[in-house]
Amino acid sequence: MTHTPADRMRGLVSGIQELEEQLKMGGGAKKIEKQHSEGKLTARERVTHLIDPGSLFLEVGLLIAYDRYDGQAPAAGVVSGLAHIEQRPCVIVANDATVKAGAWWPETIHKILRAQEIAMRNRLPIVYLVDSAGVNLPYQDGIFPGQYGAARIFYYNSLMRRRLKVPQIAAVMGMCIAGGAYLPALSDVIIMVEKTSFMGLGGPNLVKGAVGQVVDAESLGGAALHTRISGVAHYSVQDDLACLALIREKIRELPIYQNQPAPEVKGTAPAKPAEGLYDLVPDDHRLPYHMEEIIARIVDADNYLEFQPEHAPEMLCAHARLHGRPIGLMANRRGFLKTPEGPRIGGIVYTESARKAAYFVDTIERQGLPLIYLQDVSGFMVGLEAESEGIIRAGAEMVEAMACATVPKIIVTLNHASGAGYYAMAGQGFDPNFTFAWPTARIGVMDGDAAVQAVHGTELERLKSAGQPEQGPRQVQQLALPSVQWRSIQIFRAAQSSATRSNRAARRRPPTLRHAARFSSTTTASKRASPVRQACDSRPTSPSPAPTACAAARRRFSSRSRKARRCWATSPPARSSPRPVCRTRGTSSISARDARRIRLNSE
């Protein structure tokens, strides 16, 4: 029987198809069943649910390593290719946990690098479905070192994130151990599945051997830890299907690139009517309210997704739509908030919330989305704990990310914006595109109570310890005057009171002499309280002349009195004036030198 070239070709194609079907089974039926028993989908099932229905999945590198390692590495333990997600071409990389628990073979590195290169050259979003036990240690010499070793994966991650602005979405759907954890960590979006995903530099066994700690996988690197406490991951979902649905939503939010048709924008009405905005902000700006209620009356009802909702909840970051257009949204929650680290005060920027905000702004910048700030911020956290955590550096990162963002920025000040928190939330000095303010808006370095405590805290504490009543508005206003000026006014008023009797007796004298007598009486009263007078009066009585030092002090005091007497006699002050006016010196207020002299005389 003769075979034509066509028969030969059909035979080759049939053989390849049979091999491909065999390779697509991965680790075999038993491993697939084990994956299902753990509540997880296989790598190929995940890809099928992720891509658009009926979309072609163009697999890349299926036959790699099929004839090596005694057939134990089908497809090198990873599924990679291209398909449409939300009508957008994307690159997909999915670890096959049925093959050696998804461990990396030397060829696994080549397949991942090839997929990343396709994404970079074509500016396509790339999705990583991570479920890997890390490096296959017996073959580490072909995985770890070299220019095109595993490090090249992280190098491409960084290039796409910082330079090329290629979107990267990583879903940790199983194990993610050791250096492999940096692949999702260097992505734009990190999603973890509750109870089934783990991400850490070392597993429980390694941690026990290295540092002696006995801990389970969920506590060491589960979804709850990384989405609530560490802040490494951004979203937590219940199962694989919810994770894949969230990936599709994040792909749908991505901006349109060049040479790609823009979809028709159809906005929806807000979830709640705008009329309710009148009732949300309390009369007292210090009282709490629900920021979510304000947002629900501004943005579209659908496609609202908060970023890291359980990590640093005082800083609300979210993706939303405004009249159908995707935007980034940042706002300050108010009130007392519960966190795993303890209660926090809304409106305050903590170290974690500053870093969360900086990361979110970087993500929005890469996505090219407009950024809207809803300001109600009291400032950055202070204290020993905050300084120890590096609040200054974290705040600088937040400010730097905001200042360098080139996307449109719009500010709405709702209640009040104080201190450096106002700057970090895109204050007007950082050139936002538009700034708006509600009638309740208050902008300043700090509010009144904090300002009084900062300026007069020491004086108030002294008065409190002395048992004196709290200072009223008039006393606080007096404390705010410059110290020398206010002290001079106090000295002058005390002198006026003590000289009342002498002034009454001198009213019949000529004006010039009368005012000279008033000053003489004032200086006499001051001399009684002066240290010089007290020192001289306290010396023992003796028929001998006064000591030389005391006589010299009297001469100096008399000289100052005569000089001040000439000044007052030239232009006497009005009786209702709270401070003297010295015409000979050409000034409308007492000078610092004269005030110092009066103060010395009264002490």
Residue 584 has pLDDT above 60, yes or no: no
Task: Report pTM.
Answer: 0.72
Of the pLDDT bands very low, low, confident and very high (cuts 50, 70, 90), residue 255 is: confident
Least confident among 118-132, 490-504, 579-593: 579-593
pLDDT recorded at residue 104: 94
pLDDT in tens, 112-130: 999 999 999 999 999 999 9
Cα gap 262→269, rounded to integer Å: 22
Backbone angles phi, psi at 267, to 5 degrees: -90, 160
Question: Do the beta carbons of residue 76 and residue 69 sit within 8 Å?
Answer: no
Question: Do the beta carbons of residue 145 and residue 101 sit within 8 Å?
Answer: no
Cα gap 516→572, rounded to integer Å: 9
Q: Which residue has the higher pLDDT, 300 or 256?
A: 300
pLDDT in tens, 448-474: 676 777 777 787 788 778 776 655 544
**58: which strand partners?**
82
Cα gap 76→110, rounded to integer Å: 9
Place of tokens 């409190």: 464
Residue 552 has pLDDT above 50, yes or no: yes
pLDDT in tens, 21-52: 999 999 999 999 999 999 999 999 999 999 99
pLDDT in tens, 426-440: 998 999 999 999 999
Average pLDDT over residues 53-63: 95
Question: Do the beta carbons of residue 491 and residue 598 sit within 8 Å?
Answer: yes
Token digits for 476? 């606080």
Residue 603 has pLDDT above 70, yes or no: no
Question: Do the beta carbons of residue 202 and residue 69 sit within 8 Å?
Answer: no
β-pair type (379-380, 434-437): unpaired
Question: Do the beta carbons of residue 76 and residue 107 sit within 8 Å?
Answer: yes
> 130, exposed or middle or buried, with CB in 10 Å at 0-12, 13-18, 19+?
buried
Cα gap 407→481, rounded to integer Å: 45
> What domains sit in the chain, N to C, each tagged with a CATH number?
22-253 (3.90.226.10), 280-446 (3.90.226.10), 481-537+547-602 (no CATH)
Backbone angles phi, psi at 549, to 5 degrees: -60, -40
Alpha-carbon dihedral sign for residues 27, 33, 39, 43 = positive
pLDDT in tens, 331-350: 999 999 988 888 899 999 99
The vertex-118 CA angle with 113 and 123, nearest 5°, equals 125
Token digits for 278? 């009148």
> Residue 28 contacts by C-beta under 8 Å, 6 or more apart in sequence?
98
Taking alpha carbons only, the member of 155, 167, 81, 170 closest to residue 123 is 167
**Beta carbons within 10 angstroms of residue 579's beta carbon:** 14
Cα gap 305→233, rounded to integer Å: 15
Of the pLDDT bands very low, low, confident and very high (cuts 50, 70, 90), residue 585 is: very low
Cα gap 375→382, rounded to integer Å: 20
